Amino acid sequence: MKIVVLKFGGTSVGSIDRIKKAASIIARFTKKKYKVIVVSSAMSGVTNDLVRKSNQISNNFNESEYDVLVSTGEQISCALISGRLNHIGLKSRSWLGWQVPIITTGNHKTSRITNIFRYKIIKYLKDGGIPVITGFQGINSNDRITTLERGGSDSSAIMLAKFFNAEKCIIFTDVEGVYTTDPNIFKKAKKIDKISYEEMLEMASLGAKVMQPASIQDARLNRINIDVKSAFKDKPGTLITRKKNISNRIITGVTFTKNDSKISLLGVVDKPGVAASIFEPLSHNSINVDMVVQNISADGKKTDLTFTIKSDDIKKTEKLLRNNKNIKFKDILITKNVSKISIIGVGMITTPGVTYRMFKALSQKKINIQVISTSEIKISVLIKKAYLKKAVAALHKEFKLEK
């Protein structure tokens, strides 16, 4: 059986007209003799509205009920897609996560898929049906509805492709694919034909919003090729695949963030375990710490420790640090309006001089670097947010990404 998984993002089903368009795309694949499994996100804006309602009810809304609430968005879109498919003469029905069932483990809001029962869906496919399955949700061992992380419908599609051994997994969205950088910031950004899992994971983690990082990790671990393409234009998209399928290139893309702040703890009394003491309460309060730099004084007794967080977490972070009795420091400096800009590419592993070229390109534009972090396939620097567009343009040009 030749199976394809088609996933439609929130913007792709954001209106009745767009749902009709999605149905016509699904119909095209049935004409190519594919057995089609459809996965849908909620219509754009619906999940945010449901989250807003939960906040209006309580500032400590029960997490299991939160999952029940926000999972209803996908139920709406799937029913509408299925209804349209039936209207145009195709057999279809919607399936909620618990009806398949899709089994999850982990906490509410951030569950992961561990198993998908195949029997009912296979039987329905063999009977000529098109199952339209809710993304972003499943059911746990306590028979409670669970949701994956926001954007988790991508993970749903990838895991369905794995369990049903699909020939293709196509993610339909509002862009034509993955770009070398955000085309809204830099008009010369170019669509990437192929990108490795590792590069896409870094890009998604560092600010690119095409796909959720956890879904890329699922695809990489299960070796599921993903085709990201537009739901509105019938053009080739971007294939996310193994490194060995990628032609040799140094840098693949430039990503950035817009919502970062820098916190510096000055004059921290340096002793074993001090860093753990600083970051432990932040971890317990779900505050994600990113770039970290530590400078030790000449006498080795004091240290300045700098790290970045999301700007939304500034007040909570400052309060936790000032109330932390396990650390001693002289002062806290908070710097807002900073951005992390990163270059990403598997080619930098074997290419010397990439760091120099990045720093030189920024220095020629008089852009000061505040913090640096690296991995095998990325270099990230923290700069003033006001210089973001200039920095993106300079790096895009330096590494010839428009060609």
> So what's the pLDDT on residue 212?
78
> So what's the pLDDT on residue 32?
95
- Is there a shared CATH topology between the 3-174 domain and the 256-398 domain? no
What DSSP designation does 330 have? Answer: S
Nearest to 38 by CA among 71, 98, 84: 84
Q: What percent of the chain has pLDDT over 90?
A: 75
Q: Write the class of the CATH domain 3-174.
A: alpha beta
Other Cβ atoms closer than 10 A to 234: 9
> So what's the pLDDT on residue 298?
61
> So what's the pLDDT on residue 321?
94
Stretch 258-262: mean pLDDT, rounded?
Answer: 91
> So what's the pLDDT on residue 269?
84
What DSSP designation does 179 have? Answer: B
Q: Write the class of the CATH domain 256-398.
A: alpha beta
More confident residue, 31 or 328: 31
Stretch 253-272: mean pLDDT, rounded?
Answer: 90
Stretch 396-401: mean pLDDT, rounded?
Answer: 93
Q: Chain-wide mean pLDDT for the chain?
A: 92
- DSSP sequence for 14-41: SSHHHHHHHHHHHHHHHHTTPEEEEEEP
Domain residue spans of the chain: 3-174, 256-398
Q: How far apart are the first and last CA of the chain?
A: 40
Stretch 329-349: mean pLDDT, rounded?
Answer: 92
Q: What is the pLDDT of residues 197-250, one digit of tens each?
A: 999 988 887 766 778 788 888 899 989 999 999 999 989 999 999 888 777 788
* Beta pairing class for 92-95 and 137-139: unpaired
> So what's the pLDDT on residue 154?
93
> So what's the pLDDT on residue 246?
78
**139 vs 298: CA distance, rounded Å:** 56
pTM, entire model: 0.84
What residue type is 391 in one-letter code? A
